[in-house]
Amino acid sequence: MLQLKHIFKSYHVGDTVTHALDDVTISFRDQEFVAILGPSGSGKTTMLNVIGGLDRYDKGDLIINGKATKNFKETDWDAYRNNTVGFIFQNYNLIPHLSIMDNVELG
């Protein structure tokens, strides 16, 4: 359903380069419930931003339902965010009177 293949992503701030994702390969199955754990700064948010189509990877490929995203244009990412993925931030952009499920499904 969702596959990360040799994903790399770095941040460049001035002369400093941070390799946030360094050759990440992982597959998620349909209906699977997954928790990603790791110390602060280990790249969890970076990975979720990539999976959620909010941020771009530098190298590798993200396969969504069997389709490579390597050559996705911005409009393809827009469609993916609108139609395929639900993304809940930890503490903003939530609609308080809705349940977690309703918040996820709203998109």
* Residue numbers at the binding site for Mg ion (CB under 5 A): 44-45
- Minimum Å distance from CB 97 to ligand ATP? 27
DSSP notation for 27-80: EE-TT--------TTSSHHHHHHHHTTSS--SEEEEEETTEE-TT--HHHHHHH
> Rounded CA gap, 3 and 66, in Å?
8
- Minimum Å distance from CB 55 to ligand ATP? 9
Which of residues 36 and 104 has its CB atom nearest to Mg ion in the complex?
36
- Minimum Å distance from CB 83 to ligand ATP? 25
Residues that bind ligand ATP (CB under 6 A): 11, 13, 18, 20, 38, 40-46
Q: Which does 4 bind (CB under 5 to 8 A by kind): ligand ATP, Mg ion, none?
A: none
CA–chain centroid gap for 54, Å, is: 7
Count of residues making up the chain: 107
> Rounded CA gap, 58 and 36, in Å?
21
Which of residues 79 and 86 has its CB atom nearest to Mg ion in the complex?
86
- Minimum Å distance from CB 44 to Mg ion? 5
